[in-house]
Structure 1
Amino acid sequence: MRLRRPPMNIRRSLISSNVVLALMALRLKLQILACRPISHFYADPLRFIGQHTYLFSLSSTNPSSNSYSSTSFTNQNEGESNCCNIHDSHDGLRKIGSEDYGELSIIGNSNGDSDIHQNFDAHCLDKVETRDDDHDDNIDEIEGENESDDNNGFLVLSSFHGNHKQSQDIGMIEVDECEFRHPLVREVCRLISLRSSWNPKLEGELRHLLRGLKPQQVCAVLHSQADERVALQFFYWADRQWRYRHDIIVYYVMLDILSKAKLYKGAKRVLRLMTRRGIKCSPKAYGYLMVCYSRAGMLRNSMRVLTLMQKAGVEPDLSICNTAIYVLVKGKKLEKALRFLEQMYLMGLKPNVVTYNCLIKGYCDVDRIGDALELIAEMPSKGCSPDKVSYYTVMGFLCREKKIKEVKELMRNMVKNSKLTPDQVTYNTLIHMLVKHGHGDEALGFLREAEEKSFRVDKVGYSAIVDSFCKKGRIDEANELVNDMFSQGCLPDVVTYTAIVDGLCRIGKLDEAKKMLQQMYKQGCKPNTITYTALLNGLCRDGKSLEARDMINTSEEDWWTPNSITYSAVIHGLHRERKLSDACDLVWEMVNKGFFPTSSEINLLIQSLCLEGKTIEAKKFMEECLSKGCAVSVINFTTVIRGFCQIDDLEAALSLLDDMNLVNKHPDAVTYTTVIDALGKKGRMEEATELIMNMLSKGVVPTPVTYRIVIHRYCQIGKVDDLLKLLDMMLARQEFRRAYNLVIEKLCTFGNLEEADKLLGKVLRTASKIDANTCHVLIGSYLNKGISLSAYKVACRMFSRNLIPNLKLCEKVSKRLILEGKLVEADSLMLRFVERGCATPKDEVYFQS
């Protein structure tokens, strides 16, 4: 029976009703979702996918109208998509809200891409999280506390079968140099460098460029970032973009970068992200995480990565085993590394030369050269011949110890036993090792030996020896070596000449250094920034900072560009010559050129201005540095505050103290102590007490200097009760053993012996030399005031606490008691020394008489 199609008007009404129902359902769903937190929005992504598909299927009247959403969910069915695809699959869902990623915020727009208003803050890596970080994951077990010993990581070798071949394993990833020069890579790096002033337009450009980058070019962008944390943030940002997916090599490059920067948290998140993207991690990926933990000093967590890898079903291979041995060696766990090697033998994993070289280095690090040499001798019997790196490792240690005879003997054994002939690389390596440890003469000996054997030492080796001689002031020998370079056909380069210029400046021969610059031009070798910096540093050391300043002004004419080190050298020179105005001007020139002075350099000028009484100028200088983005620290503020306190302008000091919080520079204990001391000098103890309470309420821990100043000021005005209350609150924040000792000693200094005697019980709770010294101060104070009986009582209290008073001091007390007719107390005091065996026979005869 053939069904008749309903009339056109009925069909249209049905379609319209379906659309209305779909829109009503969608509106209701959006209202419900808008009332929920963002974390609940992604709590059950699979359920959300089903609802999303159902709602939009109601409004579809033809295949083309649903093509967009079907495309969005194609990869989801393949197990490759994530919640980011869901979020970006339809314009209606973008209006729901945004998801916060610390400093990253995704906000919808109308052109089909999620718009990320982002501030690439390089100091907030811990805030950058992947979308699924809140879910349970085995990777989090690395930093758990259940494992009591990293020996459990050895058990991973039991899963080795020898016949399983890892998929998706990649070798050494190298980015071609041409990729770094690619226009797209340069433009992306430029946009990332503008992260402090990002806006939707710049980000749209970056998103457009991202989709045109090849995997190798993305790797080049990551390698081009000077700060690894910025590279990680770009990696996360790119991963969340629509119509873009990281290639597998990008993950490995990111892990490699993080492993060199000790950023184990970022490496752990990248590894987690790989798992969630369906990428099967190879042992190489886990090896990067191991190295991260190792370089961060977390050896136990590093070895737990092996257990994590075993739980993930990844079979260990030789590379991860070598990484484990390397980690143990770097962590000074040589014995465990040797045990790990034994486990490798038992499981049928045959070590290679890299394995043995790691152990050789471990032996050298703990000064077991004999064992290292024995291991080299045993390697052929174990089916692995040593290479030159094996010998170079031991030679490096011998060079450090200046054992040249042993080095030559090892070279002969290298030829005799391993059939490895010393070549140009061998001699260059030895020369650099010896120069590195300051043995220039021995390096020169090997250079001559290389020349006798017709090996050509390159200019790098010559330059290293020249630099060693110049640093020791042996300029004539350095010049002779340069002449030898010409005779050998090895022309000196800018590094060689720079070493000589620096050496001449070190011994004060500035004119010869200037002539050397002219000679460089004649030889066709253009001086670089380092060369000029060496000369400017010599001029500043010789008291010619203004001349150095003029050379910076004419740098463009001489075709060289000063760097931050150049400016720093001249600023220090101007400071030594007390030319502070010129130094400040040079700082502004430095900032305008894109170089920023360090906090210590800023403090150097601020301190000098304050010492000259120019505190207002110092404050203006600091504020200008702050406005220009320089690294102004709390120390700089404290220096200016101290300057105001020195000229008795406490109102300005207090005002600046309040201003610190406005610029997010929170005062530390030194800052508070400086102002408290200044208020105490002026007798403004109520304000000082209020400032102490403010300091404690903000969690600032008082220092011993803080205690001394507070105790001194309160004892000076005799407010002992207020002091004791304040001390109780301060000691609750930070324990200070000598607090009450200082109170007693200060009270004795100001003559308030009655209060000092009341506090003696707090001091005599523990018997120590510090307490004994405090008691001696009190005894001496009583004697000075002629109160011998009180001094006698203090001495008796010391005996009762097993503290032996000073014998000579007690003799004075005894004599004073005798003069006052108190013979019983005098005899009792001296007999206590005899009873404890602290008196000599001569003293006993004296006591009896």
Structure 2
Amino acid sequence: MLLNSNVCARIRETLPRHRKLFKILWFGSSNGRVYVEFSGKIGTYESGIRFLGHPFTYNALFSSWTSKFNPNPKLFLENGELGFKESKVLSFSGTSFDDIGEGYVIKGALGSKESDVLSFSGTSFGGDGKSCRDIYNASSCRFDDVHEFEVSQNGMDCTEDDFKVLDSFCKSGKRVNREENVGIYGRIEGVEEEMRHPLVKETCRLIERQSAWNPKLDIELRRLLRSMKPQQVCAVLRYQSDERVALKFFYWADQQWRYRHDPIVYYVLLQLLGRTKLCQGAKRILKLMACRRIPRRPEDFGCVMVAFSRAGHLRKAMQILTVMQRAGTEPDLSICNTAIYVLVKGNKIEKALRFLKRMQLVGITPNVVTYNCLIRGYCDVHRIEDALELIAEMPYNGCYPDKVSYHTMIAFFCKQKQIDKVRELVAKMSKDSNLLPDQVTYNTIIHMLSKHGHADEALGFLREAEERGFGVDKVGYSAVVDSFCKEGRIDNTKELVNEMIVKGCPPDVVTYTAVLSGFCLAGRIDQAKTLLQHMYKHGCKPNTVTYTVLLNGLCQSGRSAEAQEIMNMCEEWWWKPNAITFSVVMHGYRREGKLSEACDVAREMIETGFLPSPVEINLIIRSLCQEGRADEAKKFMVECLKKGCSVNVVNFTTVIHGFCQNNELDAALSVLDDMYLINKHPDAVTYTTLIDGLGKQGRMEEAIDLANKMLHRGLLPTAVTYRTVIHRFSQQCRVDDLLKLLEKMLSRQGCKTAYNQVIEKLCGLGYPDEAYKLLGKVLRTASRVDANTCHVLIESYLKEGNPLSSYKVACRMFNRNLIPDLKLCDKVRDRLMQGGRVEEADKLMLQFVERGHKLPQHQRA
């Protein structure tokens, strides 16, 4: 099948100046493959691929017609022939970089002896695996604009979370690819030594200035990157306090021309991400390692598992085992321990025990780390007897408990304030396991007791440690001091601090900060300020935490203005406020009702480089809206958004609610439109707030349209949505419109009590006849909830003086085998008798007798 002439004409127009030298010979297909031939030579140029010196726009040439033949075409060029094939040589139209490093070797067609990989529009180019997109746009790639690559999800969408991966364990003891990674461990250990290198420090300094980024800094950072060794790049990653910045730097560096990450960089980055909740970033790095043919160790899969576990995705964490199995990586003891740790952190202790048994069946012998994880799991679920039994069984399994095993249980007993059990465990350590309690043991006991508010018991163990010759350091004393301060026992705190000075263990800034916090909690702010001056006199310089504690005490006492004055004088006292310091003063003003001052502090906080969180922004917005200043709240939110703060849908919903409270519905709808413009998708709460506001103003048609729009966008109505819709439509007695809307909502998200709520609301608003029409929908289920709804309708008719309708409701209940309340029906009978309806009154009571109920005494007489 030949392509039409229009396609040929479009391709010829792309090369107007070299038609004679570079000529399209023919198009065609054979055996399901599409072919295209050119005549002429193909050359390359510095900044990208050019044909005979003329830039060749690949996407414009091919993207319009390649999709007709193959959704993911592969272009090949070999021996003068250019066409499509299932290979990984020449490709275009956005092919993924997953194909790096597996291209054809093209001989004789490019005017060179040998060329590795050639590709178009974001595919691989050159032997180093760099892409054409990366090479052509290297000068325009900015660190502050870089985003994570969207790696294919294939291989990550596993549905099995069982332990079949252990079946691939090689019992012969052979380890795949373990020897070739021996050198990597030494290189990783040497990363710490590079932290002080001038290149590392300068690179980190430039990264910290990313908020004020400019092309000059970008060029300088690119120059530093080319000069750094792999260990130094790893040091830059470890230097970052925010792992998200480290991940951003990794991606930025990966896009630079003539640079490729060493495998050690991937290993170190995965270790960093394993300590965070950035599970998606860790998963992409693991996938990228597979694309770059970098060996993946079980430890690397373990880092991704831990990241998923920290993010609360237990199922996905366990699915990494299946991914590892499909990748051909043999499991070892480290990944098994990681799996048990993940299960324990997810409170799946029984599953962790089954995993342990499966390990032993395939020949993986657990070690003390394995048992310590299980002991921790037992303690977390308060199965302390099982933990003690496990410690007793460990020697019979060839693994003896260590101090971590005992310390875990000691921490549990300290939390429960079972001091006798703590002493028994300390004695058992030395008797059964020959583990003498040392300073670490006592420090663990002291810190755990202090942490959980048992200061006297902690002080007792501190004295015991000193009697045994263990020197308790400032950290142990500070823990006890902090516990005394939290209990408000300032006198005991002073005695202990004086004791520290006498024993030659002068308190440090942590100890003084704990004492200062105790003064603030007790409301003794002036003494706290005096203590601050005392610190300077004794050569102990207060730090940012110390000043933040003092400012928090001032704000809690209603002295936010004084706190701000101290913060403004920070340069004179040689300290620097952090984000928490600004937040303390900001919310101090907010609690005092000085919202303008709170907004000013928030602006100063942003200018300093600290961005308030969405929760902090929402607190100020809500306070402004509560005072009827929704316009100012919107202005403040927009200002934060422009300054780079993370503003979420909750903030927008709060502003919308503020406008609705002020009956400014048009302004609220305008905020909804703004959300769509900046790609902040509203949720069900946002729509519910607007529906409530529109219904309050009687604009029911707009409320219906908005509810339909919410359902059309796939948002599920909540219980509050149902209550809001029912309340507002019932107020307007728009029962027909309400029922139509409820049918649509119930088809998306069920609500068993929806019609019950409608009937009860109509009765409460004085529309019992409208409610009676819906009684059939309620009596379909004949539950106790339905009986209560019928009682509400009966009482509503009685209030209106219509006992006959109440009688009809009671009869319908009997027909559905629902027994109405006898006392309530007795009232109905009396009203029927007063109205001359003796026959209906007798029938009502007769139905009770037929069903075996005893009538009241006055009726039997």
The answer on whether the counterparts of 1:167 and 1:282 sit within 8 Å (CA) in structure 2 is no
Paired letter, 2:555: C
Q: Tell me how far apart the structure 2 counterparts of residues 657 and 165 of structure 1 sit (CA, whole Å).
A: 56
1:55: which partner in 2? 109
CA drift at 1:319? 2.9
CA drift at 1:475? 0.9
1:684 aligns with 2:709: no
Indicate how the Cα distance of structure 1 residues 725 and 389 shifts in structure 2: closer, same or farther if over 3 A, else same: closer
1:726 aligns with 2:726: no
Paired letter, 1:429: T
Alignment deviations for residues 71-112 of structure 1 (CA, whole Å, 9 cap, x no partner): x63xx79xxxx963439899xx95xxx4xxxxxxx4615xxx
| Aligned mate of 1:818, from 825, 829, 833 | 833
Q: Tell me how far apart the structure 2 counterparts of residues 479 and 277 of structure 1 sit (CA, whole Å).
A: 62
1:248 aligns with 2:263: yes
| Aligned mate of 1:166, from 178, 181, 190 | 178
Indicate how the Cα distance of structure 1 residues 87 and 834 shifts in structure 2: closer, same or farther if over 3 A, else same: farther
The answer on whether the counterparts of 1:107 and 1:116 sit within 8 Å (CA) in structure 2 is no
Q: Tell me how far apart the structure 2 counterparts of residues 689 and 305 of structure 1 sit (CA, whole Å).
A: 46
1:21 aligns with 2:28: no
1:116 aligns with 2:141: yes
1:8: which partner in 2? none
The answer on whether the counterparts of 1:637 and 1:660 sit within 8 Å (CA) in structure 2 is yes
Q: Tell me how far apart the structure 2 counterparts of residues 820 and 598 of structure 1 sit (CA, whole Å).
A: 67
| Aligned mate of 2:158, from 144, 147, 164 | 144
2:29: which partner in 1? none
2:87: which partner in 1? 44
2:168: which partner in 1? 156
1:86: which partner in 2? 126
The answer on whether the counterparts of 2:170 and 2:330 sit within 8 Å (CA) in structure 1 is no
Paired letter, 2:285: V
The answer on whether the counterparts of 1:505 and 1:535 sit within 8 Å (CA) in structure 2 is yes
CA drift at 1:337? 4.3
CA drift at 1:420? 2.7
Alignment deviations for residues 763-808 of structure 1 (CA, whole Å, 9 cap, x no partner): 2212123322322222223223332222211110011112221222
Alignment deviations for residues 567-606 of structure 1 (CA, whole Å, 9 cap, x no partner): 2222222222222232222222222222233333333333
2:437: which partner in 1? 422
TM-score by length of 2: 0.82
Aligned-residue sequence identity (percent) comes to: 58
Matched position secondary structure for 1:55: coil
| Aligned mate of 2:601, from 573, 582, 586 | 586
Indicate how the Cα distance of structure 1 residues 534 and 87 shifts in structure 2: closer, same or farther if over 3 A, else same: same
| Aligned mate of 2:499, from 464, 475, 484 | 484
Alignment deviations for residues 372-420 of structure 1 (CA, whole Å, 9 cap, x no partner): 4444445455544433223222222222222222222322232233333
Paired letter, 2:510: V
The answer on whether the counterparts of 1:767 and 1:803 sit within 8 Å (CA) in structure 2 is yes
Indicate how the Cα distance of structure 1 residues 152 and 541 shifts in structure 2: closer, same or farther if over 3 A, else same: same
Alignment deviations for residues 208-267 of structure 1 (CA, whole Å, 9 cap, x no partner): 322221121111222233443443343344345443333232221122122222444443
Q: Tell me how far apart the structure 2 counterparts of residues 671 and 296 of structure 1 sit (CA, whole Å).
A: 26
CA drift at 1:520? 0.4
Q: Tell me how far apart the structure 1 counterparts of residues 308 and 191 of structure 2 sit (CA, whole Å).
A: 29
Q: Tell me how far apart the structure 1 counterparts of residues 548 and 104 of structure 2 sit (CA, whole Å).
A: 67
CA drift at 1:472? 0.5
The answer on whether the counterparts of 2:191 and 2:232 sit within 8 Å (CA) in structure 1 is no
CA drift at 1:204? 4.4
TM-score by length of 1: 0.83
1:129: which partner in 2? 150
1:802 aligns with 2:811: no
CA drift at 1:839? 2.9
CA drift at 1:832? 1.1
Q: Tell me how far apart the structure 1 counterparts of residues 22 and 754 of structure 2 sit (CA, whole Å).
A: 84
Matched position secondary structure for 1:56: coil
CA drift at 1:492? 0.7
CA drift at 1:371? 4.4
CA drift at 1:30? 6.1
CA drift at 1:370? 4.2
Q: Tell me how far apart the structure 2 counterparts of residues 352 and 341 of structure 1 sit (CA, whole Å).
A: 11
The answer on whether the counterparts of 2:143 and 2:252 sit within 8 Å (CA) in structure 1 is no
Q: Tell me how far apart the structure 2 counterparts of residues 107 and 569 of structure 1 sit (CA, whole Å).
A: 48
| Aligned mate of 2:370, from 355, 359, 362 | 355
1:103: which partner in 2? none
CA drift at 1:342? 5.0
1:222 aligns with 2:237: yes
1:102: which partner in 2? none
CA drift at 1:552? 1.7
The answer on whether the counterparts of 2:158 and 2:323 sit within 8 Å (CA) in structure 1 is no
CA drift at 1:738? 3.0
Indicate how the Cα distance of structure 1 residues 747 and 339 shifts in structure 2: closer, same or farther if over 3 A, else same: closer
Indicate how the Cα distance of structure 1 residues 338 and 729 shifts in structure 2: closer, same or farther if over 3 A, else same: closer
1:182: which partner in 2? 197
Across the aligned residues of Structure 1 and Structure 2, the Cα RMSD in angstroms comes to 3.6
Say which is worse superposed, 483-492 or 160-169, in terms of deviation. 160-169
Matched position secondary structure for 1:605: helix
CA drift at 1:506? 0.8
1:35 aligns with 2:62: yes
Q: Tell me how far apart the structure 2 counterparts of residues 830 and 810 of structure 1 sit (CA, whole Å).
A: 8
Q: Tell me how far apart the structure 2 counterparts of residues 588 and 367 of structure 1 sit (CA, whole Å).
A: 47
CA drift at 1:826? 0.9
Indicate how the Cα distance of structure 1 residues 154 and 526 shifts in structure 2: closer, same or farther if over 3 A, else same: same
Matched position secondary structure for 2:227: coil
Paired letter, 2:73: H
Q: Tell me how far apart the structure 1 counterparts of residues 708 and 327 of structure 2 sit (CA, whole Å).
A: 54
CA drift at 1:350? 4.5
The answer on whether the counterparts of 1:676 and 1:692 sit within 8 Å (CA) in structure 2 is yes
The answer on whether the counterparts of 2:191 and 2:234 sit within 8 Å (CA) in structure 1 is no
Number of aligned residue pairs: 786
Paired letter, 2:141: I
Q: Tell me how far apart the structure 2 counterparts of residues 51 and 426 of structure 1 sit (CA, whole Å).
A: 64
Q: Tell me how far apart the structure 1 counterparts of residues 592 and 812 of structure 2 sit (CA, whole Å).
A: 59
Q: Tell me how far apart the structure 2 counterparts of residues 570 and 198 of structure 1 sit (CA, whole Å).
A: 29
Q: Tell me how far apart the structure 1 counterparts of residues 315 and 611 of structure 2 sit (CA, whole Å).
A: 40
- Which of the two has greater helix per residue? 1
Q: How does 1:337-352 map to 2 (within 5 A)?
A: 337-338=352-353, 340-342=355-357, 349-352=364-367
The answer on whether the counterparts of 1:470 and 1:502 sit within 8 Å (CA) in structure 2 is yes
Q: Tell me how far apart the structure 2 counterparts of residues 243 and 393 of structure 1 sit (CA, whole Å).
A: 50
CA drift at 1:626? 2.9
Alignment deviations for residues 624-658 of structure 1 (CA, whole Å, 9 cap, x no partner): 33333333343333333343344444433333343
Q: Tell me how far apart the structure 1 counterparts of residues 715 and 360 of structure 2 sit (CA, whole Å).
A: 56
Q: Tell me how far apart the structure 2 counterparts of residues 324 and 683 of structure 1 sit (CA, whole Å).
A: 58
Alignment deviations for residues 466-494 of structure 1 (CA, whole Å, 9 cap, x no partner): 00100000111111111111122111111
The answer on whether the counterparts of 1:549 and 1:570 sit within 8 Å (CA) in structure 2 is yes
Q: Tell me how far apart the structure 1 counterparts of residues 645 and 284 of structure 2 sit (CA, whole Å).
A: 32
CA drift at 1:307? 5.4
Q: Tell me how far apart the structure 2 counterparts of residues 478 and 604 of structure 1 sit (CA, whole Å).
A: 36
CA drift at 1:502? 0.7
Q: Tell me how far apart the structure 2 counterparts of residues 724 and 618 of structure 1 sit (CA, whole Å).
A: 37
1:291 aligns with 2:306: yes
Paired letter, 2:108: Y
| Unpaired runs of at least 5, structure 2 | 1-20, 24-37, 44-49, 76-85, 92-102
